[in-house]
Amino acid sequence: MLCESFSTYTLSARITPHSTRANPLPVIINSLIAVLLGVAVFYVNQTDKAPFSTLTTETTVNAPIADVWAAIANLDSWKEWNRYEAFTGFNVSAHGPVPENQSGYIEFSLRGDGKYLTYPLTLDSVSHDSHFIQWTANVPVLLFARHSLKLDQVSETETRVTDVEHFWRLAAVLKLAGAENSLNQGMLAGLKSFVEEKSATPIPAVEEVVQQPESDASAQDLPVAQAESEPAL
Ligand SMILES: *[C@@H]1O[C@H](CO)[C@@H](O)[C@H](O)[C@H]1NC(C)=O
Ligand SMILES: *[C@@H]1O[C@H](CO)[C@@H](O)[C@H](O)[C@H]1NC(C)=O
């Protein structure tokens, strides 16, 4: 009964000539705001264009590239050197190809204080041949962050680590993410001291046992150099 009279009332209100002359401005303004918001959300959500910000952070670890890569490629060791990020739920074998675009989780600690929050994460690629790992955090509208570590051999005992992180979406536009690289610096410093400490562990009496003439040593190097020049599988 109440319902019926209400709809009768709204119907009659709608067809009165007076109501058609109601000020259309609020409706137009609201529609315009909605359209602008939609365009803004669409624009901010895109990730196929240049990132809003990019952080590049480097360090040199005084250790062979194989030692540095071993720490990175063994995801189980991340909690030992990385106070900010650790990964769970990924299948990364120590050797051979690693499946691309795996879905799993990141345990993330913004302050590096041991208090982690868990978020979904994609492990885009892990290449044992190129010493490269890349992962992507994807939160619609809020954040899209693509982060990678790449190793380059400087010498037999020095390895350069290059950390590149690209940021898209609202958090990047508002500079809540990607504005400064203290977290990335903290990660690399942790990696450096972890690997250098392990690498420095002395292997007892190697020099006393191995006393070869120099020509033997260079002959030993040869197969290694050949192996490196072969195309990666
Ligand atoms: C992990 O990846 C390897 C290499 O693609 C594959 O052979 C293996 O079956 C995978 N293991 C699991 C548990 O998915
Ligand atoms: C992984 O994702 C990238 C980008 O989304 C795509 O180009 C690539 O083909 C994907 N690889 C596989 C094996 O699905």
The predicted pLDDT at position 13 comes to: 47
Q: Residues 68, 152: contact at Cβ < 8 Å?
A: no
Q: What is the mean pLDDT of the chain?
A: 84
Compute CA distances 198 → 195, 201, 203, whole Å. 5, 6, 11
Residue with the smallest CA separation from ligand 2 atom 11 is: 100
Q: Is residue 18 part of a domain?
A: no
Give residue 91 CA to ligand 1 midpoint distance, Å.
6
Ligand closest to 125 (CA) is 2
- Residue 174 lies inside a defined structural domain of this protein: yes
Would you state the pLDDT for residue 74?
A: 96
Number of structural domains found in the chain: 1
What does the pLDDT look like over 173-229, one tens digit per residue?
A: 999 999 999 999 999 999 999 999 998 866 655 555 445 555 544 444 444 444 444
| Residue 94 belongs to a domain | yes
Class of residue 169 by CB neighbours under 10 A (exposed 0-12, middle 13-18, buried 19+): buried
Domain assignment present for residue 96? The answer is yes
Pocket residues: Cβ below 6 A from ligand 1? 91, 93, 97, 99
Task: Measure the CA–CA gap between 28 and 64, rounded to whole angstroms.
Answer: 66
The set of residues, in sequence order, having a beta carbon less than 8 Å from that of 133 and lying 6+ positions away, is 72, 73, 123, 125, 126, 127, 148, 149
In the prediction, which pLDDT does 6 show?
Answer: 44
- Two tokens, residue 175: 């500079």
Is residue 10's pLDDT more than 50?
no
Which residues form the domain of 103? 52-200
Give pTM, 2 decimals: 0.75
Identify the CATH number of the domain in which residue 78 sits.
3.30.530.20
Question: Given pLDDT bands bounded at 50, 70 and 90, which one contains residue 153?
Answer: very high
Q: How far, in Å, from the CA of 66 to the mean position of ligand 2?
A: 27
Beta carbons of 109 and 83 less than 8 angstroms apart: yes
